[in-house]
Chain A
Amino acid sequence: METIYTKFKSGLQRSKTLLVRNIQSVFGAAESWDKIDYEQLEEALIRTDLGVQVTRRIVEYIKEQYERGVIHTTSDIIECTKQLLYVFLSDDCETPVVYAESGPTVILMVGVNGSGKTTTTGKLANMWQQEGKSVLLAACDTFRAAAIEQLKIWGERTGCQVISGKYGADPASIAFDAVHAATARKSDILIIDTAGRQHTKKGLMDELAKIKRIIQKAISNAPHETWLVVDGSTGTNALQQAKMFQSSADINGLCITKLDGTSKGGVVVAIHDEFKLPIKFVGLGEKESDIQIFNAKVFCEALFSE
């Protein structure tokens, strides 16, 4: 049977060179640990896209622990790093979705181009439909070629209706219509898919703020959730993305996609550490079922599993 754990682990595990093996090969053979070894530990961590900052803090800590005689073996290092990563993530990285007390729970999906917003929207719709909730989708990407058709196919796959408009139409007005439709149809959840946008483009970022303002005209505390969808193979730029989307769209959660690839998605640790955003879901493939609730322990274990 494929449990969440094994699936997640196998997804993260495909890469051949593993952090653990790296650490073991470096420190296992060493009589005592010196500068070069730490540099290699640093590289092993960098390789997972943890970023320079987080990596250096981990290495500093391990060095200190070693010098104080607290840790001695490679398995100490691994344990220590694992624990540290866990500390960086802290337990508030896992927060359940809070559903609206009455009326539809409105979820806005945002992110840079191609990160996986539409696919994640489809996977979430599938997940919630299977849990017996009724889900409505809103196609607010009126810009990219065939974005509306793409979401409609996800609608068909998952048995959800899709509210859409014409290409070139104002996404805010479609969002507004969708919120009304979700209320009228008594949907449990409305997921709003938006166009990909680079966080550097002020005009496009303002558009997100506008979408949120208009949604609030229909339901004052909506959208209840605004999630930034980050491609797990992204490097340090993900931090910049989080920063800008937080300031323009006031995001309150992350979804990390494409972790079925060889990328470790370490950058989420850095994002969480810096912005304290909870990580909601993890994407592990292109099928509707390839989604998991984020679990910090599993994530850290998976980074280290052999």
Chain B
Amino acid sequence: MFENISDKLQDTFKNLTGRGKLTESNIEDAMRDVRLALLEADVNYKIVKEFVDEVKSECLGERVMKSITPGQQAIKIVNDHLVQLMGESNVALDLSAKPSIILMVGLQGGGKTTTTAKLAHHLQKEGKSILMVAADVYRPAAIDQLEFLGRDLNIPVYSNKGTSNVTGIATTALAAAHRDNVDVMLVDTAGRLQIDQDLIQELKNLKQHLNPAEILLIADTALGQEAVSVASHFNDALNLTGIVLTKMDSDAHGGAALSMRKVTGKPIKFVGVGEKTQDFEPFYPDRMASRILGMGDVVSLVEKAAETISEEEAKKLEQKMLKKKYDFNDFLSQLGQMKKLGGLGTILDMMPGGKKLKDAVNIDDNMLTHIEAILSSMTPYERNHPDVLKEMSRKKRIAKGSGRPVDDVQQLLKRFDMMKSMVSNHKKFPGMFGGGSGQYNSIKSSGQQSKTMSQKAKKAKRKKHKKKR
């Protein structure tokens, strides 16, 4: 319907801005937008209702009614409220026991086995010794799957293909964990429907036998309205200790996360962001909130940029820009950085409105590849002295070398000139991705929020710095 709730809210309030005549019915309109956005994001309808009622009463307060930018105030309230509901970030696992047992549960295909390996890998990096237990005796090749993953990661896997007695498997595994002095024992279980009495009982038995420190519900970010039923059933049966959201690398808004968090009160502890074992991150409520609202993941982007691009690099570039010395060599290295960030497509995906832009102008990573080919066909001297490229013979040679038409080369040179004059007009070059763009500004709903964002970016940079030293 609409990609970006913040655009929509701005729109709803647009005609009123500045007149200071906000009425209760304007707020009603805005709340309708919020309600729709949340429903479209798959937040459970009951939770949407509660949420909207709460937010509405807050919006009727002074702050919004009297604000000269009511749209932005409303967005901020909605966003803050969502962040608050998403709970604290980084709730650590309880690994005080030895061995600490973690039981992985969830629906079929949610990502339990993969997440077992991811979490094992994560804990292994923290220096823990791990045992993974293959307790899915139903799905074809489930045991092989965990064994293969264990082999890749060099993490032992306990399995027994000769039995379908899950409690038996777990009990033997536990003895092995004690014997081998294992720190953490991760138990992968079969996928099951939350309403499957027999299989839920199987999990209850496992719980009773193992007394796990953690019982994690592994759930797909793209789940629909039933997320509430899924989470509450699993929680009622097992008293979960946390949730892991998988497949966050999709473009699902992930309203299910809010539903599950709200209905269980249990923290979301990690997110899966890809198929590989390292594609695993802690959970950040603020990112999830902007994702649900369709505001893009600017914080992630800024952090990722900070991680990928060193401060020195950024400073050097900034200086060059200021002194109008920016040349094609810099451009080429920026392209490289962009690639490290996952390519233009990924970057756009993380930006508010980025998807729309991508669809509208058909931007893709091929474009970058073409530009890179052209740049690589220039001599270092040419890259350093873009002025000499006015010569047609050079243009032709570069076109030939890059396999692109001369037109493309001309275009690139023209755009480069434009860009150069544009940036040197800025007081301070913010680095390639450091804000300044209209889109970025549009989601800075208030001074406060934008401050938290830049603070986060700085923090991420500091972190990076520390790592280096």
Contact = CB atoms under 8 A, between A and B. Distances in A.
Interface of A: 14-15, 43, 46-49, 51-53, 112-116, 122, 143-147, 149-150, 152-154, 157, 196, 198-202, 231, 233-238, 240, 258, 260-263, 267, 286
Given A113-B111, A146-B141, A260 B193 contact: yes
A113 B250 CA distance: 10
A150 B382 CA distance: 56
A122 B139 CA distance: 12
Given A198-B250, A237-B253, A261 B222 contact: no
B29 interface: no
A145 B107 CA distance: 19
Given A47-B225, A235-B225, A198 B45 contact: no
A236 B222 CA distance: 8
B250 A235 contact: no
Contact of A262 (B110, B140, B229, B364): B229
A36 to B, nearest CB: 11
Contact of B194 (A113, A201, A262): A262
B109 interface: yes
B220 interface: yes
A193 B152 CA distance: 24
A298 B294 CA distance: 36
B42 interface: yes
Nearest to A232: B224
B45 A46 contact: yes
Contacts of A200: 249-251, 349
Interface residues of B, number: 52
A18 B225 CA distance: 14
Contacts of B252: 235-237, 240
Contacts of B265: none
B250 A115 contact: no
Contacts of B140: 122, 149-150, 153-154, 157
27 contacts: A14-B195, A46-B39, A52-B39, A113-B109, A114-B247, A144-B145, A145-B113, A145-B144, A149-B144, A150-B139, A150-B145, A157-B140, A199-B251, A200-B251, A231-B220, A231-B222, A233-B107, A235-B222, A235-B224, A235-B225, A235-B227, A236-B42, A238-B222, A258-B108, A263-B226, A267-B224, A286-B139
Given A14-B195, A46-B39, A150-B140, A115 B148 contact: no
B41 interface: yes
A143 B277 CA distance: 13
Contacts of B222: 112, 231, 234-235, 237-238
Nearest to B221: A237
B408 interface: no
A237 B42 contact: yes
A286 B223 contact: no
Contacts, number: 142
A33 B255 CA distance: 30
Given A114-B109, A116-B108, A196-B275, 19 more contacts: A49-B224, A52-B40, A112-B222, A113-B109, A145-B113, A145-B148, A146-B148, A147-B141, A149-B144, A150-B144, A199-B251, A233-B224, A235-B42, A235-B225, A235-B255, A236-B42, A236-B224, A262-B193, A262-B194
Given A231-B220, A233-B223, A237-B250, A261 B193 contact: yes
Given A153-B140, A260-B193, A262-B194, A236 B40 contact: yes
A159 B108 CA distance: 25
A131 to B, nearest CB: 22
A152 B195 CA distance: 30
A168 B113 CA distance: 20
B185 to A, nearest CB: 20
A240 B40 CA distance: 12
Contacts of B220: 114, 231, 233-234
B365 interface: yes
Contacts of A202: 345, 364-365
A143 B114 CA distance: 13
Contacts of A261: 107, 193-195, 226
Interface string B224-236: 1111011000000
B149 interface: yes
Contacts of B113: 145
Contacts of B247: 112-114, 198
Contacts of A46: 39, 45, 225
A153 B249 contact: no
B299 to A, nearest CB: 19
Contacts of B406: none
Contact of B149 (A15, A53, A145): A145
B175 interface: no
Nearest 9 interchain pairs by C-beta: A235-B224, A114-B109, A235-B42, A146-B145, A153-B140, A237-B252, A146-B144, A150-B141, A145-B148
Interface centre among B225, B227, B365 (most CB of A within 10 A): B225
Contact of A53 (B1, B107, B142, B148): B1
Contacts of B152: 145
B314 interface: no
Nearest to B40: A52
Contacts of A198: 247, 249-250
A173 to B, nearest CB: 21
B335 interface: no
Contacts of A235: 42, 222-225, 227, 252, 255-256
A261 B256 CA distance: 16
A86 to B, nearest CB: 21
Contacts of B146: 145
Given A114-B110, A237-B250, A143 B275 contact: yes
